[in-house]
Structure 1
Amino acid sequence: MSNIPMTVAGAESLQAELKRLKSEDRPRIIQAIADAREHGDLKENAEYHAAREQQSFCEGRIQEIESKLSNAQVIDVTKIQNNGKVIFGATVTVFNTASEEEVTYRIVGDDEADIKKNLISVNSPLARGLIGKEVDDSALVNTPGGEVEYEVVKVEYL
């Protein structure tokens, strides 16, 4: 795995989740396993098997987050001089020429993407079409519904 681009907020979110998993979830699951062991026969102990399954998911998620953080290239776009170009981490206002709608998106890493919050993955077709563009540039983006033309209205490094 090479460098994974991530915003500062994305890295902080993963670190907070990792801290919660290690300091709250892991001890709670270990206690649940210990409690379930006290009930006797482990072969037919549903609480024990459920707790072990939770432990497996928790440990897997811890490993996944640690791997992502170790390979993360945290990019703080606020420390970069705004030259008007669309880059990773930029907040971009675009005008959809077909629907005549103006929408603002922030280009973020895969783990941070949430279309409901207008956070789009750097690997999405829209972000790939916008990267490198400047204000007043047009971008043709291949979408499942066909090609859509977007005009870059504003680029901010927030």
Structure 2
Amino acid sequence: MTEQSQPASTVWLTQKTHDRLHAELEELKGPLRAEIIARISAARDEGDLKENGGYHSAKDEQGKMEGRIRQLEDMLRQATTEPAADDGRVSAGKVVTYRYQGDDETEQFLLGSRDIDDDEADVEVFSPQSPLGAALDGAAKGETIDFEAPNGRTLKIEIVDAVPFAG
């Protein structure tokens, strides 16, 4: 799938993050799910479920785990690890260098999933849905964008560069 054909719901992940999340999903669906089912069964065998703390605790944990399984399945179904196009435009999978108008110092971030580990990327990771990520998504190198900060102030941000994440 190419960068240009990705649907808006595509989640960009590094290969390392994709592999880590896939391994987590397999662990949850396999040994951890079996362990919780065994705990529920054992607690059921104890009798009265109304006052059985172990049963209720295991059922609560099962609900949380099943929610995480659904979350991971959805994310991985929508995920891509394809390298972003090297076209100078801000998009998922790019390291964006920018500066605030009137400031000489530049800042950087990776536009991608917040599930990317901090130790994997040497820069902060913003999702395309974050205020800054959404404001800059699609902007080209050299463009100046008006960005409404969370505090309500409008800031002018210049895109200095947008290059594919190299890992």
Query: TM-score, normalised to structure 1's length?
Result: 0.79
1:105 Cα deviation after fit = 0.7
2:72 counterpart residue number: 65
2:53 counterpart letter in structure 1: A
- Measure, in 2, the Cα distance between the counterparts of 1:93 and 1:118: 11
Q: Deviations over 1:47-105 (max 9, x none)?
A: 011101111221222223223333x1525125x3x121212211101112366542211
Q: Deviations over 1:105-138 (max 9, x none)?
A: 11114x53789x6111112221222222233321
Contact 1:32 1:51 in 2 (8 A): yes
Question: Which residue of 45, 55, 61 corresponds with 2:52?
Answer: 45
1:93 counterpart residue number: 97
Normalized per residue, the structure richer in strand is 1
Give the % identical residues: 29
Between the two proteins, the alignment pairs up a number of residues equal to 153
- Measure, in 2, the Cα distance between the counterparts of 1:20 and 1:107: 28
Contact 2:148 2:155 in 1 (8 A): yes
Instruction: Map residues 9-158 of structure 1 onto 2, 5 A cutoff.
Output: 9=14, 10-70=17-77, 72-78=78-84, 80=85, 82-97=86-101, 101-109=105-113, 112=115, 118-145=124-151, 146-158=153-165
| Structure 2 alignment gaps of length 5 or more | 1-6
1:4 counterpart = 2:3: no
| Structure 1 alignment gaps of length 5 or more | none
- Measure, in 2, the Cα distance between the counterparts of 1:13 and 1:42: 37
1:23 Cα deviation after fit = 2.1
1:8 counterpart letter in structure 2: L
**Aligned-residue CA RMSD in angstroms?**
2.8
C-alpha spacing 1:114/1:101, structure 2 compared with 1 (3 Å)? farther
